Structure 1
Amino acid sequence: MTSQQEVYRFLEDRFACALACTECARVCALRASLAETEGPEDQESLRRRGITCAEVCDATCRMLSDQAAQDEARLRSEVERCRAVCLEGAHVFDADPRGEEAARACRACALACSAFLATLG
């Protein structure tokens, strides 16, 4: 049986993960729009990564915010996907001198995803 403390931790970590996903989506979308105006092909990779990361984080946040989304396997899969995309995004943004904020947001989101996954067991 799950204790009330475990339920609270699950909900707190779920909320923290959703917030981190929202922030990461915001920063990555902003980074993607900046990359559109900066020019050549090297910025195209940043733009694509920003869009992908924002979309995945947004989808994960929506799933985490859905009270009916209690299918643990599906939830785990989506959060693991988000964590992986964020870590890849952080790596790509690290290569850009103006990508520091996006890389930081991606790492924070990946950490929040990991913390939430730990509550799933």
Structure 2
Amino acid sequence: MSATEQQELVRFLEDRFACAQACTECARVCALRASLADLDGPDDQQQLRRKGILCAEVCDATCRALAEETVQSDEAGMRAQVEWCRAVCLETAHVFDRGPGAEEGAQACRDCARACTEFLALLG
């Protein structure tokens, strides 16, 4: 393996790890936000809770996929998982923007979406 190939591999793994970390943090914040939402409250609170749970589950699944996949793995499958995560995070951030006190969740979702975008750019 040449020095350039090694550098590309290291960057790939670093970006993959950064994406997985962002997914983990987003899942944590979304799960917490969902647990704070009032189950019997208005529809906005229920939507916030549902989105938070969905986002936490998708981020958790993405983190696990990134951690378990090998470099020679199915790139198309990895890309699809990360793109799905990115889309769900952006949707959830938008829903959180409408919820009072959900700023931390919205920011975690945006950070995760940005990490996903950066990782997807590396995949080419």
Which blocks of at least 5 consecutive residues in structure 1 are unaligned? none
Q: Confirm whether residue 18 of structure 1 aligns to residue 28 of structure 2.
A: no
> Corresponding residue for 1:50?
52
Give secondary structure in 2 for the equivalent of 1:96: coil
Q: Confirm whether residue 98 of structure 1 aligns to residue 101 of structure 2.
A: yes
The one-character-per-residue Cα deviations of 1:55-85 (angstroms, maximum 9, x if unpaired) are: 0000000000004472100000000000000
CA distance in 1, matches of 2:9, 2:88: 27
> How many aligned residue pairs are there?
121
Q: Confirm whether residue 28 of structure 1 aligns to residue 38 of structure 2.
A: no
> Corresponding residue for 2:11?
9
1:117 aligned to 94, 115, 120, which one?
A: 120
Which blocks of at least 5 consecutive residues in structure 2 are unaligned? none
Q: 1:27 is matched by which residue type in structure 2?
A: V
> Corresponding residue for 1:80?
83
CA distance in 1, matches of 2:74, 2:122: 14
Q: Contact 2:39–2:46 (CA<8 Å) still a contact in 1?
A: no
Q: 2:52 is matched by which residue type in structure 1?
A: G
> Corresponding residue for 1:66?
68
TM-score (norm 1): 0.94
Q: CA RMSD in A?
A: 1.6
